[in-house]
């Protein structure tokens, strides 16, 4: 599977939402929602870390009036959660993976594996050179500090696939890993 990392980030590259900068309802528009739907349609499976998985599991299955299609997608897509502690995912269809070797084994399967949120998993995948594509939804805000997708492992060269600005001020930067 091709591994596609999709993250919401600030203009200074911060993915960590602990600073409270991310409010999807504040900066969204029909074109942005259409782009998210397009990306979801290309996903054959989704990989999440335990914390993001648990947050998604407690929220998305309960959304009955979601017009974005995110809830429907997340409830039906094959999910993988990378965790050494989770025992029962409680959200079908989900498979628990215990280490990066199990993620690497997924690369032999056809299709696209999406990854979103899950900063520590994202950084592990980047450090192991497993990410094929980076889709960054850049929000027009600067926060000055916080984790990004690049761990302290050095530089990555990317090739721009697409850049698209949305009426909300969010910009999609879609890059392929240059190998």
Q: How far apart are CA 31 and CA 172, in angstroms?
A: 11
Name which residue leads in pLDDT, 160 or 64: 160
Domain boundaries of the chain, sorted by first residue: 2-177
Q: How large is the C-alpha radius of gyration of the chain?
A: 16
pLDDT digits (tens, 9 = 90+) for 97-141: 999 999 999 999 999 999 998 889 999 999 999 999 999 999 999
* pLDDT mean over 11-25: 81
pLDDT at site 151: 75
Rounded to the nearest angstrom, the gap between the alpha carbon of residue 2 and the centroid of all alpha carbons in its chain is 13
H/E run at residue 165: strand 158-165
pLDDT over 90 at 96, yes or no = yes
pLDDT over 90 at 147, yes or no = no
pLDDT at site 28: 83
pLDDT at site 153: 67
Return the CATH superfamily for domain 2-177: Dihydrofolate Reductase, subunit A (3.40.430.10)
Cα angle 73, 164, 130 (rounded to 5 degrees) comes to 60
Q: Is 155 exposed, middle or buried (0-12, 13-18, 19+ CB in 10 A)?
A: exposed
Strands 112-116 and 45-49: parallel
pLDDT over 80 at 162, yes or no = yes
Q: How far apart are CA 20 and CA 8, in angstroms?
A: 13
Q: Give the global pTM.
A: 0.92
At 78, list the tokens: 């094959």
Q: Which residue has the tokens 């979103």?
A: 116
């Amino acid at each position: 599977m091709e591994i596609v990392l999709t993250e919401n980030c600030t203009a200074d590259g911060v993915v960590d939402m602990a600073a409270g900068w991310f409010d999807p309802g504040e900066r969204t528009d029909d074109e942005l929602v259409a782009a998210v739907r397009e990306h979801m349609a290309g996903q054959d499976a989704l990989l999440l870390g335990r914390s993001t998985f648990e947050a998604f599991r407690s929220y998305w299955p309960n959304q009955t009036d979601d017009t974005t299609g995110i809830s429907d997608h997340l409830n039906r897509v094959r999910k993988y959660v990378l965790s050494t502690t989770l025992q029962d995912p409680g959200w079908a269809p989900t498979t628990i993976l215990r280490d990066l070797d199990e993620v690497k084994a997924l690369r032999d399967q056809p299709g696209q594996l999406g990854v979103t949120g899950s900063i520590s998993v994202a950084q592990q995948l980047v450090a192991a050179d497993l990410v094929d594509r980076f889709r960054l939804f850049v929000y027009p805000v600067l926060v000055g500090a916080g984790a990004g997708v690049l761990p302290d492992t050095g530089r990555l060269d990317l090739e721009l696939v697409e850049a698209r600005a949305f009426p909300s001020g969010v910009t999609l930067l879609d890059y392929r890993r240059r190998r």
